[in-house]
A and B are shown apart, each in its own frame.
Chain A
């Protein structure tokens, strides 16, 4: 196997952070090479150096035997590197053809380009209409745009950044078929992910990063997911304790909940669910299928028709967030910075966002700053939030610490029902384990908990029952015990969501 890409001794330092340290790896022609690591392990810095967005401080790279030191992405593209981004790479208002033209150095005239797009999408089984505006495409179709954009340049090295995080398992299968087809044609593929199973099934080699350093390059098929995880995290993962739960009476009852689609959002369609005391209900699904909307409809950011959201017999459907919190329905949205917390504000001030009423911080409209600080300190202490103090700006905390604060703020509010969306997204393993444990403890004390997440492992680990959101519809919940990955895949796929109930377990 000839090496298409080689990196030797790459290093990059940011103020206070050694993002990459002496990184060496090689990707051969026809190889699908996984780059594996936790958030913050240095994967994206490494990739940005290859793609010319960031310049390395030390070390050097080679592409097909030639020195590779691109000073910007255009230079990288010119020398045969193509990249499919996880975020931030398509222009919603522009058409498919325009988006693809932007990713090319010398795009042919429009008609010619459209013809080539149609041709290529045929040969790889990725149908796309070049004249459609990207805003109208599904997540899977958007990814096709990105892939076609890369393929039109005949790349020697194709970088894929967490490509399956937005796909259903079925869509992911199609993607892997495409990648295999490409690899067989001689393209080298660098595949970034933290999903262990898909790496084990589809990748030829895996390089594992931890704290900016290469831990090792292994054959993923020869290791179990557990061993790979241990290399990634550096220690055996702690198992969460899920004992002591016995679901009681129904505390939250949602019936025929429908909402209108907001700007670029998804409309919820006839959602029905019941949640018992002491129960954790897991809601899976690919991002953008109504997760944010469901949380908003439960938190009170979106009001709904009378009788659709009932908490212990009290109809909360038409009420805003404040009265819902007073009634004991608390929530923690996915986006920590700017939704669940205000980055510029101190932790003390951030308690006022949701805890003003329940913690007696706000009385008659007046803010008791001392009480707010005390509560912030209580959250910091109870949830081991690493911060100089409650006066620190929320934006200065690491993702994991801020998430612990946000979840802790709600958990200490003694909710009857807590709804969380992506509670451990972008959080290091230690913090994630303690957040999961806090949710389990909360349920053990008798609260009902809804966990919305895209992390299937997390959902299977936490929840008593599991259901999936697809295009604003919620599938029937199934007991988590005994669910197979295939069944989950079908539930996430949605088209068959209604039939899942008939599949014999």
Chain B
């Protein structure tokens, strides 16, 4: 039998990495930056977090290191797209590939080691699950209620107008990219430290890409990101439960479920945006466009 509380706890765990990464990317996209390198930043965080946690024995230090590593990787993206005006799609792809390669290279010594145990929190959930949940209203409040969030949204909506009013478009965007990197790093580290409990090459297995899809699903709203992450977590847990229950389908086919679910969700939300009420949807107006202050 499947106990609903156990399933929900498992779901929360499966959703947490995606939730962190999606919230980070959401803020970046609200500032008008499309960073497709989430997968690379997550895997960077996964390795850095695991390595530091393993060496120091402190998962807290591991997560700090993961955030720093994710942010460091994101700053490469920031430098290229904000100062060297490179194409955001291509640069994001490069970041994803680079992160996977770099971690494969530096991760060798950590293969086969075990992660120290997680920091326990209230209600039997670890602290990172709580932090992820808290970040949802915090991000929402920042974006929708704070002055800084208003400026960030303004930059993402129309960078020329924001520049015209004297707001530092580039600095706001670099900040948003760095936040996205740190959050992706935390999400990645959650996979290596709290879920898989060890380091393997390419272990994020597309979580970063799923997070990108969740941002679209969420329509750039943090609460939507929570819903998307839970949906994804639910599918993952269900799929694992079915595997464990010995359902007649091959394991490999069952494990496609999260990816297929992501496609379905993406199609559903895109269709709603395309055929739904007019008004243009919630896509930030300047998303993915380079900003170059003319004269």
Contact = CB atoms under 8 A, between A and B. Distances in A.
Please determine if A and B sit in direct contact within the complex, based on CB atoms under 8 angstroms apart.
yes
**Size class of B's contact patch?**
20 to 34
Interface in B276-294: 278-280, 282, 284-285
Contact of A53 (B157, B161, B164): B164
Contacts of A89: 161, 164-165
Nearest to B166: A73
A212 to B, nearest CB: 14
A263 B154 contact: no
Interface stretch (A91-99, A233-241, A494-502): A91-99
Interface string B132-175: 00000000000000010011011001101110111100000000
A98 B143 CA distance: 12
B193 to A, nearest CB: 38
Given A85-B164, A89-B165, A92-B285, A264 B158 contact: no
B157 A52 contact: no
Interface string A123-148: 00000000000011000000000000
A72 B285 contact: no
Nearest to A260: B278
Contact of A73 (B151, B164, B278): B164
A14 to B, nearest CB: 7
Contact of A102 (B154, B279, B284): B154
A77 B282 CA distance: 31
Interface residues of A, number: 31
A54 B294 CA distance: 10
A interface secondary structure, majority: loop
B165 A93 contact: no
A261 interface: yes
Nearest to A87: B160
Interface string A95-117: 00010011100010000000000
Contacts of A85: 161, 164
Given A102-B150, A102-B154, A88 B285 contact: no
Contacts of A73: 164-166
Interface in A60-105: 72-77, 85, 87-94, 98, 101-103
Interface of B: 147, 150-151, 153-154, 157-158, 160-162, 164-167, 278-280, 282, 284-285, 295
28 contacts: A48-B295, A52-B166, A53-B164, A54-B295, A73-B165, A75-B166, A76-B166, A85-B164, A88-B158, A88-B164, A90-B158, A91-B153, A92-B157, A92-B158, A92-B285, A93-B153, A93-B157, A93-B284, A94-B153, A98-B150, A101-B147, A102-B151, A102-B165, A107-B147, A135-B279, A135-B280, A136-B279, A263-B278
